[in-house]
Structures are given as structure tokens and as C-alpha cells.
């Protein structure tokens, strides 16, 4: 029999240890990352699944009330989450976990659940059984996302991932010989990078996912797993990248921005090329360049073709991220 309990602070070390050794856990599900948010607008309702008093799965989640309806969401502090499974989870066990979760939701009067599974490239050993069994248990696909990632094992030299044109641009890019791509050195450089980030996002009527304080905090919390690099010319920051090494398999480019005065220099491509080398040296199998859709579109499925073409010039291929939803009757 599977028993579900709510997470509390005493479970922190066992939670993180399970994430570290799981099949599909990442830095985004570690407690330090989930807890860093400075202004919470939700109640943590993360769940621990046990069988024979041993943890077999986790669900990083939050309880949110919308229009008077009680909903369990994949944790808002993470880009994705869903059920985090151990490496030996069988088809039958995964089905039992979903059944236990549904019973828990009904018993605790949740009207709806919304969860986002980890993309396939974030799994140690991808198992589509979870997606299949969610559908089998009447979960509906609510949203789908396409992201693009480069497989760093395809070539010994990552330059071979690049298209011929991209190689030429990087080799002959305007003034790139004067650029020093390196780790950030000071709080002032972080401020300079964040100024460029804010300006870039504003051009698309958007804001950075992280405030300056949050970015500084998570960099301090995970100095080895969240790296910030800048492109400096005479020690003046002209661009930068934030890389999340989410687990031993995959690294994610979260931000890649450049000063508007460098837009004709191929600096953005130069930065990504350097990140390919860094992630390859680290031992990552994939470097994920993130979601490739058009957020301002009325149709959330609409692909951003120009962005996808740019990512493909770095040898990237598509990877799906799927969000599921299930509603429960008022009568429990």
C-alpha cells in the first residue's frame, strides 16, 4: 500500500537525497531551489509517496485557490516537476502512484490538478510509461511546449555541431577577438548583466523570470550548478549567459543576452558556442536552449520559427514538455 504525506522541513535532507538519486529529478526540485522565492503567493503542498516506509516518489507541488476552487499545481517555483520517480519504478508502480495521488486529491477536496512532467532529456533513463499512464487515468493534455537541445556526445569537437554559416560567423564575427568570455567577477558585473537582461526583456514587453536579488541568491545557493558568465570588452560587460546545470545529464541556458550595441557582432552566437564547450567539458550530454514558442501569440502552440532556426544552427533538436490536467467531481 502506498502512503502519501505532506512534506515538512524535517524531510529536507531525505527529499534532496531522493532527488539526487532519482530517475528524473533536477536542481529545480531540490528544496533550496523550491524555497528561495522571496514573495510566495502559494502554499507549499509537496507530497512524499512511501511504500513499506520507503520513499518511492515525490511530487513538488503547491496548493492554489483560483475562483474559490482548490487546485494542486506542479510547484510554481520550478519550470516543471510532476512525479519524481526512483530509477526502478515499474509500470505497475507508476500506475499505483497515480491512483494513490487521485485518492489523496479526492480525500483532501482538491477540485483540480495541474502537473508538468520533466522533459525526456532531463531523465536519467527516459520512461514514457508516466505519460502513457496519466492519459490512461483520464488526465488530459493541457499544454505542450517544444524546446531545443544540442546532443553534446555527437561530436568530440562541439564546433562540428554548428552549421557552416554559424562557424563562419563566429570565426569572423566583428570585434569578437576582443571579447573575454568568463565567469562573473563581482556584484557590479552582475548588476551590469542584469541591466542588459532587463532591457532585452523589455523589448518583448516581458520581465526577467528572476529579480536581481533572486538571481544573486540562487547563484550563491548553487555556485557550482548555476553559473553566470559575461562577455567583457576591456572589462566592460557587453553580454552574458546564465547556465543551470540541472543534473549530471543536462545543462540549461536560462538567459543569453547582449548589449543592443553588439547586435551585429554575432556575440549571442559566440556566447552559446562557448557554453557548448563549457557544458561538454563538464560532462553534460545535452545543452538545452529552452522553449521555442511565441508567448505573445493567441495560440500557445505557435512555434517561433526564426528562434528554432537559430537553435538548429547549433545542432539542436526538439524536445517536448507536456502539462497535464485532471478535474474532480464536487461530490467526493
Please tell me whether residue 185 adopts helix, strand or coil conformation. Answer: coil
Alpha-helical (H) ranges within the chain are 12-21, 31-34, 91-107, 129-136, 164-172, 187-202, 212-221, 267-282, 305-312
Specify the length of the chain in residues. 332
> What predicted TM-score, i.e. pTM, was given to this entire model?
0.92
298 vs 296: CA distance, rounded Å: 7
Contacts of residue 164, defined as CB under 8 A and 6 or more positions apart, other chains included, come to: none
Q: State the Cα angle at 292 between 264 and 246, rounded to 5°.
A: 100
Q: How many domains does the chain have?
A: 2
Same domain flag for 7 and 108: yes
**Averaged pLDDT for residues 20-35:** 94
Nearest to 22 by CA among 248, 224, 177, 240: 248
Residue 323 C-beta-side C-alpha neighbours within 13 Å = 16
29-56 pLDDT per residue, tens? 999 999 876 556 678 999 999 999 999 9
Q: Which percentage of the chain shows pLDDT scores above 70?
A: 96
**Averaged pLDDT for residues 251-265:** 92
Same domain flag for 134 and 23: yes
Domain span including residue 39: 2-145+321-327
Please tell me whether residue 80 adopts helix, strand or coil conformation. Answer: coil
- Residue 308 is assigned to a structural domain of this protein: no
196-242 pLDDT per residue, tens? 999 999 988 889 989 999 999 999 999 999 999 999 988 899 999 99
Nearest to 318 by CA among 280, 295, 288: 288
What pLDDT sits at residue 273? 95
Same domain flag for 133 and 167: no
% helix, strand, coil for the chain, step of 5: 35, 30, 35
Same domain flag for 45 and 126: yes
Nearest to 22 by CA among 122, 133, 115: 122
Same domain flag for 165 and 242: yes
Same domain flag for 158 and 135: no
- Residue 332 is assigned to a structural domain of this protein: no
What pLDDT sits at residue 262? 87
Q: Is the pLDDT of residue 296 over 80?
A: no
Q: For cell 490538478, what's the residue?
A: 113
Same domain flag for 84 and 204: no
pLDDT-derived band at 332, boundaries 50, 70, 90: very low
- Dihedral (CA of 255, 261, 266, 270) sign: negative
Contacts of residue 107, defined as CB under 8 A and 6 or more positions apart, other chains included, come to: 332
Nearest to 122 by CA among 29, 28, 27, 24: 24
110-140 pLDDT per residue, tens? 999 999 999 999 999 999 999 999 999 999 9
Same domain flag for 107 and 159: no
CATH code (residue 186): 3.40.630.30
Could you tell me the strand order of the sheet in which 180-183 lies? 43-44, 61-66, 69-74, 112-116, 316-327, 140-151, 286-291, 250-258, 236-245, 226-233, 180-183
Same domain flag for 134 and 198: no
Same domain flag for 160 and 76: no
Amino acid at each position: 500500500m502506498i502512503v502519501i504525506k505532506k512534506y515538512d522541513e524535517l524531510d529536507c535532507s531525505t527529499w534532496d537525497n531522493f532527488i539526487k538519486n532519482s530517475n528524473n529529478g533536477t536542481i529545480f526540485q531540490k528544496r533550496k531551489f523550491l524555497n528561495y522565492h522571496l514573495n510566495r503567493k502559494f502554499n507549499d503542498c509537496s507530497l512524499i509517496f512511501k511504500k513499506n516506509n520507503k520513499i518511492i516518489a515525490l511530487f513538488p507541488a503547491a496548493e492554489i485557490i483560483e475562483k474559490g476552487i482548490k487546485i494542486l499545481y506542479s510547484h510554481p517555483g520550478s519550470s516543471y516537476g510532476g512525479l519524481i520517480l526512483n530509477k526502478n519504478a515499474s509500470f505497475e508502480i507508476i500506475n499505483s502512484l497515480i491512483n494513490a495521488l487521485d485518492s489523496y486529491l479526492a480525500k483532501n477536496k482538491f477540485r483540480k490538478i495541474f502537473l508538468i512532467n520533466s522533459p525526456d532529456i532531463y531523465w536519467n533513463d527516459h520512461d514514457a510509461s508516466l505519460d502513457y499512464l496519466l492519459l490512461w487515468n483520464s488526465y488530459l493534455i493541457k499544454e505542450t511546449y517544444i524546446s531545443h537541445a544540442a546532443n553534446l556526445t555527437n561530436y568530440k569537437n562541439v564546433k562540428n555541431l554548428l552549421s557552416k554559416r554559424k562557424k563562419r560567423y563566429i570565426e569572423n564575427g566583428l570585434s569578437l577577438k576582443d571579447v573575454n568570455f568568463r565567469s562573473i567577477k563581482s556584484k557590479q558585473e552582475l548588476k551590469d548583466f542584469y541591466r542588459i537582461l532587463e532591457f532585452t526583456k523589455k523589448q518583448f514587453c516581458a520581465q526577467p523570470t528572476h529579480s536581481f536579488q533572486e538571481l544573486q541568491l540562487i547563484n550563491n545557493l548553487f555556485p557550482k550548478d548555476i553559473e553566470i558568465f559575461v562577455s567583457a570588452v576591456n572589462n566592460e560587460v557587453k553580454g552574458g549567459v546564465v547556465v543551470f546545470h540541472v543534473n549530471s545529464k543536462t545543462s540549461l541556458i536560462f538567459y543569453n543576452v547582449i548589449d543592443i550595441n553588439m547586435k551585429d557582432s554575432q556575440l549571442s552566437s559566440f556566447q552559446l558556442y562557448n557554453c557548448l564547450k563549457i557544458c561538454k567539458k563538464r560532462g553534460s550530454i545535452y545543452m538545452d536552449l529552452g522553449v521555442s514558442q511565441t508567448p505573445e501569440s493567441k495560440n500557445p502552440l505557435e512555434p517561433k520559427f526564426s528562434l528554432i532556426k537559430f537553435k538548429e544552427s547549433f545542432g539542436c533538436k526538439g524536445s517536448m514538455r507536456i502539462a497535464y490536467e485532471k478535474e474532480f467531481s464536487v461530490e467526493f
